[in-house]
Amino acid sequence: MVKAGRPPQDPARQLERAHRILDAAAGLIERWGYDKTTIDDVARHAGVAKGTIYLHWRTRDELFAALLRRERLSMLEEVREQAPATLRDLIGELAAELVRRPLMKAIALGDSEVLGKLTRQKRHSETTPELGAAFEAYLAELREQGAVHADRPAREQLTVIGAVIYGFLFTRNNLPETMRMPDDRLVELIAETADLAVGAGSAPPAAASHAIARATARYLDTVVEIARNKLATSLGS
Amino acid sequence: MVKAGRPPQDPARQLERAHRILDAAAGLIERWGYDKTTIDDVARHAGVAKGTIYLHWRTRDELFAALLRRERLSMLEEVREQAPATLRDLIGELAAELVRRPLMKAIALGDSEVLGKLTRQKRHSETTPELGAAFEAYLAELREQGAVHADRPAREQLTVIGAVIYGFLFTRNNLPETMRMPDDRLVELIAETADLAVGAGSAPPAAASHAIARATARYLDTVVEIARNKLATSLGS
DNA sequence: AAATGACCACATAATCTGATTTGGTCAAAT
DNA sequence: ATTTGACCAAATCAGATTATGTGGTCATTT
């Protein structure tokens, strides 16, 4: 006669619980910032015991990393669903998501109010050179299609796009209320400015538009896949 | 019989001394930041007694304000001497000066390492709405000449230019050494990006180039004059 | 009149101590 | 096999206390 014991838990439930914990953490960090958000708070808001959280992640930082990766994946999936067909639309969708997601915005801007002591840590872009590399490859394809300026390094174009997004997002925050433009307009301006700076002077040949759309879709597939794998690592599954 | 007394000093010498003090302050603040720079240090480096400094400015902050205003005037005069003839050249010259002047750059970026507790103070652009207004007026002239996009508010264009400059300058600082481009290239990119974002799609009519150059020169005259007056106030003359 | 630098009130920094919080563990419960 | 929450060491915080440094003044000197 064997003891009944507790039956193994459904892995799907485990995953659901992990997400519930991340949901709680996301809300708390957005509201109180990283430093003031304790594991106890997260556990209470997620309706689990503190020890349970450590069944999912070894440290607080790993929980936070998982949260960021989930958010990043969600953002990229959302962008992909919009199915942007040009570089400009892609940047516009990315910017729109950045504006709408406090956590991603905080990461992009290095907002110490939210990130607390993690502010000076590794930049997100440096953290995953793969994502940067994917974007550079994408730019190379665009160049072949005559969609971006051909005679300057892709690395530089990446810097330009980054600077434009950063500049608009940041200055917006520290602007008097009266001078702020609506979100939609801001996003339009970012996309337009970045595209003008990086794009070829003239419109790409009409015949290329299909190839460009395909390249864009493929780029998004690639980065979504990368983000998905990173997240999987962080969820221990 | 009267005592000889000390003869009145030459006002020119007083002014020269004021500048010597500001020179000392500039060097110290660039090196140690505002918080760590004491009046005693400044006095010692300027070769005067502490009390002498208070013959020129009532408080430490007023000394600092004078320093910034002098730097600003110097920067604008330098730009004017380059005689930029287009918006793009103007922005390029401004950016070049910003890159070259640590104090101005610190102000533009709100660098707390240099500004110390003054970081959260009034932004420089808010401080002098006159300068912003002058630039808006300049943009209006350019619009009449077909040099900038006509159907969007000048206010917005000002924001765009600010965002571009800020974005490039800031991201440059937090970039790994290996990815940094040389100063000249950075400046070119800033000018080009801002100009593309704000300029009319097509090149302005050749007939307008003279008027544009005149407007640019007039704009610089205006702001140099404003800056000169502000500085005069700060020097008590 | 013009310049100085010793002087002082006050702000800031540094040190210490005790109390509280919090990330992480693990024996016990299920 | 899972989950829990009391528990602990280590970090953080709050406050008191002391030490140091600094902005600004002014009697004195030139």
What CATH number does the domain containing B98 carry?
Answer: 1.10.357
Residue predicted with more confidence, A192 or B4: A192
**Mean pLDDT, to the nearest integer, of A111-121?**
87
Nucleotides of C under 7 A from a protein CB: 1-7, 12-13, 21-27, 30
Strand D–CB B229 distance below 7 A: no
Query: Is the CB of A189 less than 8 angstroms away from the CB of B123?
Result: no
Domain count, chain B: 1
- Whether A125 has a pLDDT exceeding 70, the answer reads no
pLDDT value, residue A8: 55
Q: In this structure, is residue B119 part of a structural domain?
A: yes
How far is the alpha carbon of B229 from chain A, nearest alpha carbon, in Å?
26
Contacting B with CB below 8 Å, chain A residues are: 110, 123, 126, 155-156, 159-160, 162-168, 170-172, 174-176, 179, 181, 185, 189, 192-193, 196-197
- Residue to test with chain A: of B124, B196, B198, most A Cβ within 10 A: B196
Q: What is the pLDDT of residue A184?
A: 96
The amino acid that residue A215 corresponds to is A
* Average pLDDT of span B155-182: 93
Q: In angstroms, rounded to a whole number, what is the distance separating the alpha carbons of residues A67 and A34?
A: 12
pLDDT at B99 over 90: yes
Mean pLDDT of A156-177: 94
Q: How long is chain B? A: 237
Q: Any idea of the CA torsion for B103, B66, B97, B224, to the nearest 10 degrees?
A: 160
Q: Tell me if A14 is assigned to some domain.
A: no
Question: Does the pLDDT at position A6 exceed 50?
Answer: no
Q: What is the pLDDT of residue A128?
A: 84
Mutate to test the interface with B, among A111, A166, A188 (most CBs of B within 10 A): A166
From B156's Cα to the closest Cα of chain A, the distance in A is 8
Give residue A3's pLDDT.
34
Q: Is residue B11 a part of any domain in this protein?
A: no
Residue recorded with tokens 């009319």: B200
Q: Do B193 and A192 touch (CB under 8 A)?
A: no
Per-chain mean pLDDT for chain B: 91
Q: Quick check: is B224 in a domain? A: yes
Instruction: Considering only residues B121 and A97, tell me which one the structure prediction assigns the higher pLDDT.
Output: A97
pLDDT of residue A201: 76
Confidence class for position B179, pLDDT limits 50, 70, 90: confident
Q: Determine, yes or no, domain membership for A223.
A: yes
Q: Is residue B190, in this structure, part of any structural domain at all?
A: yes
Provide, as residue numbers in chain A, all residues whose Cβ is less than 8 Å from the Cβ of B160. 189, 193
Residue A67 lies in a domain: no
Q: What share of chain A in percent tops pLDDT 90?
A: 79
Is A6 contained in some domain?
Answer: no
Protein CA B79 to sugar C1' C3 (Å): 38
pLDDT of residue A1 exceeding 80, the answer is no
- Return the minimum-mean-pLDDT range out of A124-128, A132-136, A189-193: A124-128
In the predicted model, is pLDDT for residue A26 greater than 90? yes
Answer yes or no: is pLDDT of B4 > 50: no
How sure is the predictor about A12, in pLDDT bands with cuts at 50, 70 and 90? confident
- Confidence check: pLDDT of A116 > 70: yes
Count the Cβ atoms, other than its own, within 10 Å of residue B4: 5
Range of the domain at A206: 72-235
Beta carbon of B54 within 7 Å of strand D?
A: yes
